[in-house]
Each structure stands twice: as structure tokens, then as C-alpha cells.
Structure 1
Amino acid sequence: MTTFDLTTEEKLREHIAQALERSRARSVLLTDSVDDEDLVRQHSKLMSPLVWDLAHIGNQEELWLVRDVGGREPVRCDIDELYDAFQHARADRPALPLLDPAQARGYVREVRDKVLDVLERTPLEGRPLLDNGFAFGMIAQHEQQHDETMLATHQLRVGSPVLHAPPPPAAPGDRLPAEVLVPGGPFTMGTDAEPWALDNERPSHQVLVEAFHIDTTPVSNGAYLAFIADGGYERPELWSEIGWSHRQGAGLVAPRFWHRDSDGGWLRTRFGVVEPVPVDEPVVHVCYHEAAAFAAWAGKRLPTEAEWEKAARFDPATGRSRRFPWGDEDPTPEHANLGQRHLRPAPVGAYPLGASPLGVRQLIGDVWEWTSSDFRPYPGFRAFPYREYSEVFFGGDYKMLRGGSFGTDEAAVRGTFRNWDHPIRRQIFAGFRCARDADPGLGH
């Protein structure tokens, strides 16, 4: 099963063009919504200036699609080093001689014009980088990933709101079990079939997962408030040694962007809007250590990456792994909260049409979900098309996140998609759900 009909090259080109246009429209929205002063300012040392992200998007597109795929002359070979993410830490990028906003916008437009010409003239087969339009899909995903990064920069920005979106749909109000039993046994993890899957998602392989219970929905703000009220941030027995040391050193007392009001209640700041913390939404902007401490407080644990993927993809009726929890069709607005369509997670229990065969909800979209697993290659992993996408990150302190957030585009998320970050990160749109062991042999 693929994400698009590959029976004709014409349909594939149309699909690619739409993916590229959707990503560029979002990049323009995120950069045109602020003035030039905000574009060049560093809103947090954790993030690049927005203008760096914009030009970096264009530079990667030029390197892969104009020069490599198209074999064309460089547009701006003099800026390659400036926009190489491995050459300069984010904190150092404001001091670089970057393109100014007008230059950056002109550059990405010129690159895109050449890319569309390359798309029209290049056979989409004959080498791995071109088969099924992989290189174009990789670049569309890359831009969407930076769009989500820029959205996180907007969340860190201080000032009046500049982004606006309608609220997500309400939960239907049906009674849901607190958790679901996932039967034990093998399942197929990863993929060989997704044409635009990245190297760390490959190859597909069988994984034996013992039976376990997983929360039906992500952990809500209301549940997290109970953890805070019960002294969760003051009880070292709930935290790992590393987690407790970080909690103390960083002074963590609540999710990032939460603060007390004058009456002792909790408010949050969301894209410039200060509002009461909504108890029915998934908690977001918590680090891995906070998620693990909550799970210990609840008498549970975080799921492993394999457990998360089995809960999201395994169909016990057929024994096969689906592309998404709801099936093999691409996401629609009825399935999941994706693509910056809403600027917040939907209430827990929303999107019943997006549920897995076992009834687990909101596994795709709303919030990235921390798992307990480290970032490791799958058996038989092969770096493609370059080592720096995944391989150089293996073996670090990275923890795996799965499922995407309200800020993730459908091009950059699927049941096999793997995200990773340092366990102390909180500016990302990350939450979690809990799991616990089932009785041995249960569900086989």
C-alpha cells in the first residue's frame, strides 16, 4: 500500500507538486505573519531565527533537487556552509552573515521555480533517489519538519498573537475505557512499502511484543494537575536519578508555558494567548523525565516504541500492520488533528474515526508521545540517502517520540514515522500516554 496512486507518472508528479505547494504555503504563513525584526531575532537559544529556517529550507531544496536530481548550476553555492545544520549550533546562528528576509524570500522562490522545472523534466525512476519521487518527498517532509520547528519558535515568541486558527472538534462524549489490552505476539514493525519512508523506518521486521495495556487516550491536563497537586514534582521516588537531578537543576514545577494566577490556579500561554489550562486537552510541553515521573505516580510506565507502534498499527482480525490506526487511507480532518489546522490539541477522546482496531484514540496528531525507547537502528538498517539523517544520532541520549502533533503535516507522519529528541526538551509539542504490563501470556 502506498500513499498515492503510482499507476501513472502524471499522477505522481501532481501528488509531488501538491506536497511541495502545501509545505511552501505553510512556510510563507509562518514567516509572513511577523515583521522583519521578529524574523531575524532569536526567540530562544534552543531555536534558530525564523529567517535561518526559511533559507535553510531553500538551501536543502537546492542541494538535493536543483543540483543533484536536476544536475543544474548552483543558485547560491556561496551560502551552503551558513545553512549546514551540522556546522553551526542553533545558539550561534544569529551571529552568522545570514541572508536578510528579502534575500531569503527571493532565494527560496528562485529555487522553487527551478525545482518545478526539474520535476516536470526528470524521469521519476532509474535510481533510488528518484524512484517513486523519493527525493521530492524527502524535501517536502524536510520543509514540513522545519515548519513545525518554526511553529515551536512562534510558541516561544513574546508578543501579541499573530497566528490564528479555529478550535479543534470536541470529543463525542462517549464513555471510553481508561486503557486497552493489546494482545501479545509478533507484529510487523517498520516498512518496506511506504515510498517516502525515511531510512530509520526501514526495513520492516517482525517484533515479538508481550501483552500489555495502553491508555485509550493521551494523558490529559486534568490528570496532570492531579499529579502536581499530589506533590509529583517534590517526590524524588517518582523520578529517575537523572530525571530528578534535571528537575532540580532546571527548577521544573509544571509543564512549560504554565504559570499560576493570582488565585493559585493554573494558566498557560499559547501562541501569545494567556488562558486557563483546559483540563480536557492532552498535556503538552512536558519532557521525557516529567512523563516518566507521572507514569510512575500512576502505577504505570511509558510504552516502548514497539508497543506504541503495535497499538497504532496492529489489526488483530487480520494479523497485519496498517499504515495508520484507522486503516491504509491518508489522513483526513475527520481522522486526526494535523497540519496546523488548529493551534492546540483536541480534547482527549476526540477523532473516533481515527481510532485503532482495538479502540485506542489520538495515536496520530495532537501531541507527540514520549516512549521509553532509545533511538536505535532497525535490524538491517542502511543509511539513505546520507548518514547525517539518522545514523549519526544513533546511540546518543535521544528518546523516541511517535505519532505527530497538531503541528505535524500528514507528509511527515505515519504509523512508522520515528521522531527523536533529548529527554529534557520541552519546547516541542510533546505529551504522552501510559502503559503497563499484562498478565504473562494474556492475549496470545
Structure 2
Amino acid sequence: MKLAVVGGGSTYTPELIDGFARLRDTLPIEELVLVDPAADRLELVGGLARRIFAKQDHPGTVVTTSDVDAGVADADAVLLQLRVGGQTARQQDETWPLECGCVGQETTGAGGLAKAMRTVPVVLDIAERVRRANPDAWIIDFTNPVGIVTRALLQAGHRAVGLCNVAIGFQRKFAALLDVAPGEIHLDHVGLNHLTWELGVRLGGPGGENVLPKLLAEHGDAVADDLRLPRQVLDRLGVVPSYYLRYFYAHDEVVRELATKPSRAAEVAAMERQLLAMYGDPALDEKPELLAKRGGAFYSEAAVDLAAALLGDGGSPVQVVNTYNNGTLPFLADDAVIEVPAAVGADGPAPLAVPALDPLYAGLLSHVTAYEDLALEAALRGGRDRVFRALLAHPLVGQYDLADGLTDRLIAHNREHFAWA
């Protein structure tokens, strides 16, 4: 089995490598190719990857290359974890929206639109190269914004599934609080990427006992602290929103916070410099503890599980993924991309039935899906008016003067990435 990781020079990658090494019986990789245009980073990450494999007696080989076509040739699956523009672009995404009094974040709001517009054309070009190399290969997208990027891939006819670590993070957190094995926890996880709610927490499987009321009653303070939301919000909702809902439920509070502290991009850039220095140490043969603060917790387990299921070699029968709606949420179009539990096999994911949604959640999902429609149109076709329409449709913008100001800033900060600008 051959897997390729595009964006393999990311400081995330040792987390993925550690999972591949530990879970080699689930996903028996013979050749792993790390693809990245940044040759200096790639060699540091690649060297550590080989040492991790060697320490854990993994028999597979690790290859590094800056040539996408060579890297994806004959690959059974390709994982996408790239960041177009790097941390410099992320820094911009997180700062210029604040000038208009809007949240600065890399996956939602105006910053999220900027990232989508930079990313979609690049991902589609890579996907075409994958299709030419092996039309049967699966593309697993971890590149944000996952929902929009996955929809672009699916609309172009690629064998693609979107992956996020929010659900597996909740599964692990809830399992620890309830003192059960993670595999015992099934989530009624419903929504769009980075816009989801845990409507139920079930023991033993999709039809198991819903212990969410017990979880909130006994551990509500701990869950609320993690989400940085007041405990009474969880009690009133009776569900657990993803931490990205804080940008919607406490937008103005978040804007005030972001305006008075260093950006997350600046924090990550400093962390990356430390990590890369560590990766260059020939004595290091395991992922460093600092990597846990970088983000992407449990990404490796989720990626291994998904790849194994898609390639027919194992994996959990039910996994939370991003895929076409196809009637799962009846108030959304079939070709909307949603994030829900699905039965995953060699033919791809098939979403499971989910609980009926309260209008409080269905309304916001409909609103953000409309934005995502327009965002993808802007990413594919460009043009100031399409950018403006997408921003005006976003529930965190929604005013023509804000949309106008944000449009000008988005284009000015990303002109080098837009052929039409």
C-alpha cells in the first residue's frame, strides 16, 4: 500500500507518522511519500519520520519529494494537509477582519473565505494530478476550510472525503470523563465542518444509551471550560456545540479578545520554529510533547481509521466525515457537504440517519450553507462582486458596509494568489 501526504513538510506531520507507526496493523503502509515544495522543511520532517518508523520497527519506507506528480504516482490514497500562503497568509486572515470589527479566524468569517479562495484552485489542480496518476485513488482532505474544499473536490468528480479532528477530540474527551474506552462512545455529531453540535453521546454504538444528560450534569463545568462558553449556555441548549460555535454565540466578546492579544498565527509560527529545530536533532525519534500544542490532536488516529476503511483493510465501521448530504438533512440540498457519522467502506461514506434538528441549529446551518455556496463560486470564478456576495451572506458579516470593507481588504491581502485580481 502506498500513501502520499501533500503538505508533508508540515509540522503536523510527525503526529500523522506516529499514528501510522503505532497503528500499522490497521493500515499496513509499505511506502509513504511526503510531498512539499519547501525542501528544507521537508527534509527535517522526513528525517524525523524515518526515525519514528525505525524506532517502532515499522517496515515501510518514507520518501520525500517536491514533485507532486512523482509523489502521487500509484498512490492508493492521498492526504491533503496544505496551507496556501503559509502562516504569513494565516496571520493576515486573522488580523485584517478585525479592522472592520469582525472576527479574524482562518476557517470562518472573512478570513475563512480568503483561505478558501486561495486553497480551492490549488487543491483542484493537485486532485487532477492524482486522478491522472490513479483514478481509483481516494483523496482525504484535512485542508481547511474542509467543508468548502471537500465540496469542490466532489463537484469535480473526485473520490474524496473530508476529515476533521473535532469529533474524535470530543469522543476522546467524553470517554475520559465517563471512564470508558473511546470505542464505546458514539456521537450524534451533526452539522457542517466547524459548525457542529453533539446532540447525543451514546454508549456502545449508534443505538446505544444516550448519556449526554448525565455527562452535562456531572461534567458540564469541565466541558464548558474547554469550549470557553458559560455553563448555563450548555444547560439551556442541552447539547454540546463545537468550540467554533463560540465565534457565533459570543462574536463581539471574541473580537474584543482577539484585538488585545497576539494572533494564533503568531503563536503557531513561533511554535513551528521550535518544532523544526527539534526535528533537526538526529537523536529525536518520537513526536515531541510540544506538538500537542500545535493543534490537530488525534488527527493520526482519525486519518488511519478513515484510510483503512476506504481501502478495504479495516477501520471503524462508523466514522464522522465530511461528505454529500444526499437527503440526510432534508432542509439542505443533496450536494451540500455535511459533517455527520457515516458508514465507511471501499465505496466511500454513506451518512447515517441523524436526529431531527431544532430550528435553532437548522436555521444557522442553512444560512452558512448558503454562504458556502457563494464562497465556492467566488473561489472557482473570482471577481469582486462574488467575494462581496459571499461576505454579505455570511452570518458573521451580513451588512453591506462591512461586506464592502472586508471585500477590499480580502482582495488587497491576497492579490498574489488570485489570477483575476
TM tier relative to shorter chain = under 0.3
Looking at CA atoms only, which structure, 1 or 2, has the larger radius of gyration?
A: 1
Of Structure 1 and Structure 2, the greater strand share is in 2
Of Structure 1 and Structure 2, the greater helix share is in 2
TM-score calculated relative to the size of structure 1: 0.25
